[in-house]
Amino acid sequence: MPSDDAVLEVSVLASLDAIPAAEWDDCACPETADGGPPLDPFTTHRFLKALEDSRSVGGRSGWQPRYLAVRHGAETVACAPLYAKSHSQGEYIFDHNWAHAFERAGGRYYPKLQVAVPFTPATGRRFLTKPGWEVPGTEALLQGALQVASNHGLSSVHVTFCTGAEAERGGAAGLMRRVTQQFHWVNEGYPDFGAFLASLSSRKRKNIRKERAAAQGFGGEILRLTGDQIQPEHWDAVWVFYQDTGSRKWGTPYLTRDFFRQAHDHLRRDVLLVLAVRNGRPVAGALNFLGREALYGRYWGAIEHHPCLHFEACYYQAIDHAIETGLKRVEAGAQGEHKLARGYLPAPTHSLHWVANESFAGAIAEYLEAERAAVDEEIEILTGYGPFRRTGAEADQQE
């Protein structure tokens, strides 16, 4: 346990090769000491190193690793995934308008610093600390990130998809808080998918049954694979799906082909792969990651169009797996109000922002205050339109 006068040293690391995996993971996922999975698979040493080793980050990607490590003597007590960014792609908390406004006024917005998991809109701890070091470790990491920005004359520091507790702590330290929203499915202890359906209104229940029947009629079978069930040829199919979706959504896919090779070698126990196979060939699929309490939907793609197959592979199979394995929730990724009708309700997501220019920071703070109120209202309204059964007059209207 730290003493009040503990001396902490913050280092900036250009590669995860500079820190042993066990030292990083003692901060990122100390819960795995019991032999179970991490709460957050995305901040593990193996996931971040797969991004680095596959050159999905570094090089010309616009994500330059600047990991932070905090040491007390010879002991690593905290760390953080920090990147110098030359653009705002792959973040999912959008600040493009801030960048345009700052540069129109004659400022230089890039490079900036991002405490984040690249290309991954999933909530998790961003200030990774050993148990007992939460307060001093987080303070050291935060001050370290701000010092790096100051030393290099950078415009800003952004902490994206942090936890609510981290957002509160950062806000108390003077950073600006931002609230956005995603759609998550919550497991209310359902024994099976039928029990989940029974919690929905009659109309939504019938619609989901129709969608599942349509999807299952695509002419093949739907497989759920994890761990050693996943073979190298399955990643070949995932790469094809990912390229198609990535080129349509982002212009250029963020992940390299080698990331999927790295995933097979190092991450497949963290993965749930849903594949729609017809005539022996995968024609569509969804890539999910598994945490101790949640399933995280990441990528979907298809080389053939079949009605409702997207809903089945991405949403209903994820719910099936969560129920069967006792996971508490499914986080379906960024955007998509169509998820609401399929049992996914809006949930707040949090980020923190520091901007060096005081005038510009003041304008952003005013914007964020109004945005938080709007997001809170939107979450309340969307939740009210949720698919779950009501009672009394509400039920009569909904049915």
| CA separation for the pair 328, 296 (Å, rounded) | 11
Using DSSP's 3-state secondary structure scheme, residue 319 falls into helix
Contact 299, 310 (CB under 8 A): no
For residue 388, CA distances in Å to 299, 342, 350 come to 27, 10, 26
From the list 277, 292, 354, 342, the residue with the least C-alpha distance to 314 is 342
Tokens of 244: 């198609």
**Which pair of tokens denotes residue 135?**
């307060």
Cβ atoms of 356 and 154 closer than 8 Å: yes
Q: Is the peptide bond before 131 cis (omega within 30 degrees of 0)?
A: no
Question: Tens digit of pLDDT per residue, the chain (399 long)?
Answer: 676 667 999 999 999 999 999 999 999 999 999 999 999 999 999 999 999 999 999 999 999 999 999 999 999 999 999 999 999 999 999 999 999 999 999 999 999 999 999 999 999 999 999 999 999 999 999 999 999 999 999 999 999 999 999 999 999 999 999 999 999 999 999 999 999 999 999 999 999 999 999 999 999 999 999 999 999 999 999 999 998 876 676 667 899 999 999 999 999 999 999 999 999 999 999 999 999 999 999 999 999 999 999 999 999 999 999 999 999 999 988 777 889 999 999 999 999 999 999 999 999 999 999 999 999 999 999 999 899 987 544 444 444
Instruction: Tell me if residue 41 falls in helix, strand or coil.
Output: helix
62: nearest Cα among 23, 114, 5: 114
pLDDT at 250: 62
The side-by-side arrangement of strands in the sheet containing 345-355 is 63-65, 82-85, 112-115, 156-162, 345-355, 176-186, 329-331, 294-302, 281-290, 271-278, 221-226
Q: What backbone phi and psi angles, to 5 degrees, belong to 11? A: -120, 150
Can you tell me the distance from the alpha carbon of 6 to that of 222, in angstroms, rounded to the nearest whole number? 55
Four-residue CA torsion sign, 263, 267, 269, 274: negative
Q: Residue 34 — φ and ψ, nearest 5°?
A: -85, 5
Residue whose token pair is 């950062």? 170
How far apart (Å, rounded) are the C-alpha atoms in residues 28 and 41? 9
- Three-state secondary-structure class, residue 80: strand
Asked if 41 contacts 289 with a C-beta cutoff of 8 angstroms, the reply is yes
Q: Is the dihedral of CA 195, 200, 203, 208 positive or negative?
A: negative
Terminal-to-terminal C-alpha distance of the chain: 57
3-state percent breakdown (helix, strand, coil) of the chain, nearest 5? 45, 25, 30
Coil, strand or helix at 12: strand
CA angle, 361 as apex, 363 and 100 as ends, to 5°?
75
Nearest to 354 by CA among 183, 64, 150: 150
- Mapping DSSP to helix (H, G, I), strand (E, B) and coil, where does residue 358 land? helix
pLDDT of residue 245: 77
